[in-house]
Amino acid sequence: MSLSIYDSATHSLRDFVPLVPGKVGLYVCGATVQGSPHIGHMRSAVAFDVLVRWLRRSGYDVTLIRNVTDIDDKILTKSAEAGRLWWAWAYRFEREFSQAYATLGVLPPTYEPRATGHIPDMIELIRQILDRGHAYVGNPGNVYFDVDSLPDYGSLTRQSGRDMHVDEESLEPDKRNPHDFALWKAPKPGEPSDAAWDTPWGRGRPGWHLECSAMSGRYLGAEFDIHGGGIDLRFPHHENEQAQSHAAGRKFARYWMHNAWVTIEGEKMSKSLGNSLIVANVVKDVPAAVLRFALGTVHYRSTVAYSPETLAEAAAVWARVSGFVERSVSMVGEVSRDDVVGLKAADFPADFHAAMDDDLNVPAALAVIHEKVTEGNTALANHDDPAIRTAQLNVRAMLDVLGLDPLAEPWRENFGQDQAHQALDSLVQAVLEERSAARAAKDWARADALRDTLTRAGVIVEDSADGARWHLERH
């Protein structure tokens, strides 16, 4: 078996062949630290965390670069509105992102470079693009990329110039073409003087797209294996990243991977929904493991439909798998963490291995975990200690690929405290209350749909004169 991934550039499933045998260079677009991290940000972080974990299990030495955009228009605007120094504002939210990653068990990157720390790399990249005739200087401080000069511009997203969205810079009077984009931007009136740097073309700050091209080149070289990020970044950000790099003579990414977004009631998640979706607020009511389960056990190219029902389903599954681990530990002791992390891809159940090699088919992999939990529960009932230990090892190792081994950090501290059941109860009760309201309104279709949602999650609902009660399906 070998890993295949869906390459967004070719719209096809391709066998993964690294540039350097045994090594993987991976660049993932990280946070623009203008505000607090929400679950949409974590969707991408969790998806690529699973990729990194599987690549390492498969024997690859992975270098993961996840950048921090700590200078841009929104950071300057929001910090000014709040009366804060722009760099202090950015650092505050950079720390919040770091905490959110840790809360959801996302492994740290190999390097996490900041845009402001790589201004010399950006200036050198602009120089290379200018020298090759793919950019021009406008008013002092402005340098623009000439999209018409690059034959393959638009190839990532398969767009022609007339189909492309024109960004907010299109009205700049010194641009030759509204589709041209800024490599370097002159300061706007009223912006802080320390939010600009001197260059041969005038004082200014980097355009949004430039930084990622510069930093990927700095840490991974002119050509690297995989570039990842949210699907909403494909255009213009990733298209322009690729264009800049190609214009400078760099081959850039060999594979492109994009995760789908989070939807709320069928609509793409929007910042207008307010603070309710900020990670720090969500985990006040939902255990972090359940949130990670909800975000990370849907295929990375499929949308996550975030809702109370989704959380209830995730909590039910988490209660089942972590409950098996807890019972197995109480009967035969804990399989060492070294043994769990030492299991290589080839040692995993064959169906799990095949699922993960199939473009990270996490739902199919999760089905294998359920099978092994069932086998483990049978072994518990039969007091078959060797089989229990084997099942615990396999279940925990597979869960660890998903970042959810109950005996690994950050989940270990709550292991055995019955928090999963408490969380499940609160989420199921929320669904039952919604079902009760639907029944009162004689919306039987909605009431039946809510009950079916719980049934699919393994939650059995029993109606009685005293109200609805629930229990987990026995396996």
Is the same domain home to 326 and 394? yes
Q: In this predicted structure, what is the pLDDT of residue 467?
A: 74
Assign residue 20 the CATH number of its domain: 3.40.50.620
Which amino acid, residue 375?
E
pLDDT of residue 454: 87
- From CA 103, how far away is CA 410, in angstroms rounded? 7
Q: Are residues 172 and 316 in the same domain?
A: no
293 belongs to a structural domain: no
Select the more confidently predicted residue: 350 or 418.
Answer: 350
State yes or no: pLDDT of 272 exceeds 80. Answer: no
- Residue 285 covered by a domain: no
Range of the domain at 389: 307-419
Q: Which of 30-44, 253-267, 287-301 has the lowest mean pLDDT?
A: 253-267
- The tally of domains found in the chain comes to 3
Of 378, 404, 419, which one is at a domain's C-terminal end? Answer: 419
Does 468 or 97 have the greater pLDDT score? 97
Share of the chain above pLDDT 90, in %: 80
- Region 414-425 average pLDDT: 64
Same domain for 62 and 149?
yes
The pLDDT, as a whole number, for residue 430 is: 82
In a domain, 173, yes or no: yes
**Which one of 419, 449, 464 terminates a domain?**
419
pLDDT bin (cut points 50, 70, 90) of residue 163 is low
- pTM score: 0.87
Per-residue pLDDT band for 390 (boundaries 50, 70, 90) equals very high
| Same domain? 384 vs 428 | no
Q: What is the pLDDT of residue 141?
A: 96
Q: Please indicate, yes or no, whether residues 415 and 384 belong to a single structural domain of this protein.
A: yes
Whether 216 and 190 map to the same domain: the answer is yes
pLDDT (tens digit per residue) in 193-207: 999 999 999 999 999
Is residue 218 located within the same domain as residue 144? yes
**How many CB atoms neighbour CB 271 within 10 A?**
10
The structure tokens 């050509």 sit at 223
**Which of 269, 206, 183, 266 lies closest to 232 in space, CA to CA?**
269
For the cut 80, the answer to whether the pLDDT of residue 312 exceeds it is yes
Same domain, residue pair 106 and 237:
yes
The mean pLDDT value for 108-125 works out to 98
Is cis: bond before 108, omega within 30 of 0? no
Of 1, 10, 60, 47, nearest to 253 by C-alpha is: 10
Higher-pLDDT residue of 457, 386: 386
pLDDT at 286 > cutoff 80? yes
Residues in contact with 227: Cβ distance below 8 Å, sequence separation at least 6, in sequence order: 26, 27, 28, 216, 238, 241, 252, 253, 255, 256, 257
Question: Would 281 be classed as within a structural domain?
Answer: no
pLDDT at 20: 98
Is the residue at 294 inside a domain?
no
**Within this chain, do residues 377 and 451 fall inside the same structural domain, yes or no?**
no
Looking at the structure, tell me whether residues 251 and 328 fall in a common domain.
Answer: no
Q: Do residues 349 and 368 touch, judged by C-beta distance below 8 A? A: yes
DSSP string, 417-462: SSHHHHHHHHHHHHHHHHHHHHHHTT-HHHHHHHHHHHHHTTEEEE
Question: What is the predicted pLDDT for the residue at 404?
Answer: 98
Tokens of 177: 């073409």
pLDDT class of 424 with cuts at 50, 70, 90: confident
Q: Is the pLDDT of residue 421 over 70?
A: no
- pLDDT, residue 232, reads 94
pLDDT confidence of residue 160: 72
CA distance 399 to 403: 6
Residue 299 in any domain: the answer is no
pLDDT exceeds cutoff 70 at 148: yes
d(CA 316, CA 366): 14
Q: Quick one: pLDDT at residue 230?
A: 96
- The radius of gyration of the chain from alpha carbons, rounded to an integer in Å, stands at 25
Residue 240 CB coordination number (10 Å): 24
Is 318 part of a structural domain of the chain? yes
**pLDDT for residue 186:** 97
Q: Which residues contact 282 (CB under 8 A, 6 or more apart)?
A: 39, 276, 291
Mean pLDDT of 70-95: 97
pLDDT, greater one: 347 or 466:
347
| 21 assigned to some structural domain | yes
Q: What integer pLDDT is reported at residue 162 of this predicted model?
A: 58
Q: Please identify which residue in the block is written with the tokens 């989704």.
A: 310
Q: With a cut of 90, say whether residue 394 has pLDDT above it.
A: yes
Confidence at residue 3, expressed as pLDDT on a 0 to 100 scale? 98
**Residues 183, 155 share a domain:** yes
Average pLDDT across the chain, whole number: 92
467 shares a domain with 372? no
